[in-house]
Structure 1
Amino acid sequence: MEKKIRVGVAGYGVIGQRLADGVALQGDMELVGVADVMPTLSVRALKEKGMPYRLFAASVEGKAALEGAGIPISGMLEDLVQQVDIMLDATSAGIGAKNKLLYEKYGKHAIFQGGEKNDVANVFFHGYANFEKGLGVDFLKLTSCNTTGLIRAVDCIDRAVGVEKVAITIIRRVADPGDYHRGLTNALQIDKAPSHQALDLMTIMPHVEATGILIHTPVTHGHIITVVLTPKQDISVKDALEIFEKHPRIRVVSIGEGFLGNASLFRYARDLGNPRGDMYEIAVWSDSVVKSGRDLMFAINIPQESVVIPENIDAIRSSMKMQLTRETGTAETNKYLRIGTWKKTV
């Protein structure tokens, strides 16, 4: 039996706790432990669940705070790093860059999240769009939640018929559920164009011309992105839907089924019994796929708390050369996370 890849998670917050759960499901990986700096609600919940994952303190001050809250720890972040093959860094923006010095000290691979600056890593990574570019690379950086879902949809069409350009409008949730730092709002706020998601897409898919606008909205359960896409080969709405249907990480839904918006998808995930109401797939509304000349327009839902988890697992597989192609790497991730299995039951 091949040795499992040993994985650690730095930062046990919105993304970190989901990364830990995702790694724990992988049959060819071992979750060594997680690290955090304070007894946050996520960490307190970890204790109440019986400490299914070993917890390491990310700082001396954090160690005192965690112990003061009666939360058992297994050592310091530096101890965790020494015990793993690769780290998933899900800390706050800027902290990952500091942690990189520790990873370099012990010669460990690491995956960083979308909030870090691009220069923290050797490759800006997406599991479906450029899996092979990450092979054996020490440091990879993931795209943001919106960019991750957007690239899934654009790459899906691009591999089928080619894509010349895209124009996007992102209707962005203002904060995660349970957050208060953005305040209580009753307004929409527009960002200066072009949005970073369009620029990031071009970084990973340089052959596609992209631009976009982002609008903050006073909601918490998911983003919605409208996409106007110019394919290189003229295709029908039916063709586009068939292409989307074949992608394991894309759900095709409709208003007629009751999927009226982002909240409907969040509720559906909870009704499925998914932990925390998470959904790994993006959704494409079939009702939204229309044509204007050769251009296709469609709308997708981005479950911001969980959508990047599969691509993080892909990144481990690529960086550690567990699989050598996008097809085999993403298929293994999908298998252990049970992504796409629902397509066989509908």
Structure 2
Amino acid sequence: MIKVGVVGYGVIGQRLADGVILQEDMELVGVAGNSKPTLAIRALKEKGMPYNLYMASFENKELFDELDIPLSGTLEDLVQKCDVILDATRAGVGAKNKELYKKYNKKAIFQGGEKNEVADVFFHGYANYDKGVGKDFLKLTSCNTTGLIRTVDCLDKAFGVEKIAITIIRRVADPGDYHRGLTNALKVDPAPSHQAVDLMTIMPHVQATGILVHTPVTHGHIITVVASLKEDINKEQLLEVFKAHPRIRVVKIADGFQGNAALFRYARDLGNPRGDMYETAVFDETIVKSGTDIMFAINIPQEAVVIPESIDAIRAALKMQVDGNEAVSLTNKYLGMGKWM
């Protein structure tokens, strides 16, 4: 069994821990939090401490003692017990933690907020799995880029993609975050968006550009994609390949899936923990032709969409599976993806 530690127990870290627990060929050693009993850690205690908790330091141990929250050791203790670390800390912290991972000769997977230089490979489970096999340090793409690459890679493998143009309607913060204030405005970033640039880093044969618009909402992003393919296909052909992809869910506006909030509500109705959804959703009625180009819109559930690719990264780095198709199939199986197909 591969021994995994999760460093950073916030929005992504909680979900990474839950995802690792579901993998039948991995063992979660524990999770490392920051120096204070955050709401996530308080919830962990109230749930009966299903995961061992480690801390960067015991600087504020008395705060945990007052709440009767048991600590299993320090971050350094956790690192020594693991084969690989999933680092879900704030941007910049992972780069500092890397020195500790190197000290104990441990592999690590970083999230999209870190700079690309932190890792040997900028990684996506479907688009470039082979490049991550055996590497020590891998970095995931951001939530938007992860979901976007799923759809573009799916089309590229089926029909060939020459170029894309995207517009990202980006949620301003995660649910429960207040640091960006209460707003009633849209904000446009200069083009091209980093998601387009990042996609070209993973898939250098595809020309991509994009515009990003920040919106005062919290439950997911919407991306519109205009794709120029090497084959002139129709909507039915596009739907066929999307519906066959375990990490892409085709939904219909006519069925009530009118946008990001509807998908979040549906995930809660399914009983998914926290209302999480791993899949990229494609809205059926947004698929249209423009000459030989084809356009569609997708939903990105930003809190959970990167979890499957993070698990893929463990499989690649530890050479658990050398073949990418075998690796993603196992991740999908243990996470229960594709069950609606």
Same fold (TM over 0.5): yes
> Does residue 270 of structure 2 align to residue 272 of structure 1?
yes
Q: Is the 8 A contact 1:5 1:30 kept in 2?
A: yes
Q: d(CA) in 1 for partners of 2:54 and 2:60?
A: 9
Q: Which residue of 1 aligns with 2:8?
A: 11
SS state at 2:45 partner: helix
Q: Which residue of 2 aligns with 1:203?
A: 201
Q: Is the 8 A contact 1:8 1:80 kept in 2?
A: yes
The 10-residue stretch of structure 1 (69-78 or 279-288) with the greater mean CA deviation from structure 2: 69-78
1:90 to 68, 76, 88: 88
Matched-pair identity in %: 72
Q: d(CA) in 2 for partners of 1:341 and 1:128?
A: 19
Q: Which residue of 2 aligns with 1:185?
A: 183
Structure 2 residue identity aligned to 1:124 = F
Structure 1 residue identity aligned to 2:26 = M
Structure 2 residue identity aligned to 1:12 = Y
Shift of 1:274: 0.2
Q: Is the 8 A contact 1:251 1:284 kept in 2?
A: yes
1:3-55 deviation digits (Å, cap 9, x = unpaired): x0000000000000000000001000000000011210000000011100000
Q: d(CA) in 1 for partners of 2:97 and 2:275?
A: 30
2:24 to 27, 32, 40: 27
SS state at 2:225 partner: strand
Q: d(CA) in 2 for partners of 1:228 and 1:60?
A: 51
Q: Which residue of 2 aligns with 1:61?
A: 59
Q: Which residue of 2 aligns with 1:143?
A: 141
Distance 1:146 1:182, change over 3 A: same
Shift of 1:342: 1.5
1:185-218 deviation digits (Å, cap 9, x = unpaired): 1110001111000000000000000000000001
Q: Is the 8 A contact 1:36 1:62 kept in 2?
A: no
Q: d(CA) in 1 for partners of 2:73 and 2:7?
A: 13
Shift of 1:65: 3.9
> Does residue 104 of structure 2 align to residue 101 of structure 1?
no
Q: Which residue of 1 aligns with 2:319?
A: 321
SS state at 2:73 partner: coil
Shift of 1:70: 2.9
Q: Is the 8 A contact 1:57 1:63 kept in 2?
A: no
Shift of 1:296: 0.7
Structure 2 residue identity aligned to 1:89 = D
1:217 to 211, 215, 218: 215
Q: d(CA) in 2 for partners of 1:172 and 1:266?
A: 15
Shift of 1:234: 1.0
Q: Which residue of 2 aligns with 1:194?
A: 192
Q: Which residue of 2 aligns with 1:169?
A: 167
Q: d(CA) in 2 for partners of 1:198 and 1:325?
A: 27
Shift of 1:284: 0.2
SS state at 1:129 partner: coil
Q: Which residue of 2 aligns with 1:123?
A: 121
Q: Is the 8 A contact 1:57 1:66 kept in 2?
A: no
SS state at 1:305 partner: coil
Shift of 1:173: 0.4
Q: d(CA) in 2 for partners of 1:300 and 1:72?
A: 42
1:160-185 deviation digits (Å, cap 9, x = unpaired): 01000000000000010011111001
Shift of 1:59: 2.3
Q: d(CA) in 2 for partners of 1:62 and 1:248?
A: 44
Distance 1:51 1:114, change over 3 A: same
Structure 1 residue identity aligned to 2:123 = F
Q: d(CA) in 1 for partners of 2:303 and 2:9?
A: 13
Q: Which residue of 2 aligns with 1:247?
A: 245
SS state at 1:210 partner: strand
Structure 2 residue identity aligned to 1:268 = Y
Structure 2 residue identity aligned to 1:148 = T
TM (norm. structure 1) is: 0.97
Q: Is the 8 A contact 1:136 1:321 kept in 2?
A: yes
- Give 5+ residue unaligned stretches, structure 2: none
Q: d(CA) in 1 for partners of 2:100 and 2:188?
A: 38
- RMSD over aligned Cα atoms: 0.8
Q: d(CA) in 1 for partners of 2:75 and 2:161?
A: 44
Shift of 1:64: 4.6
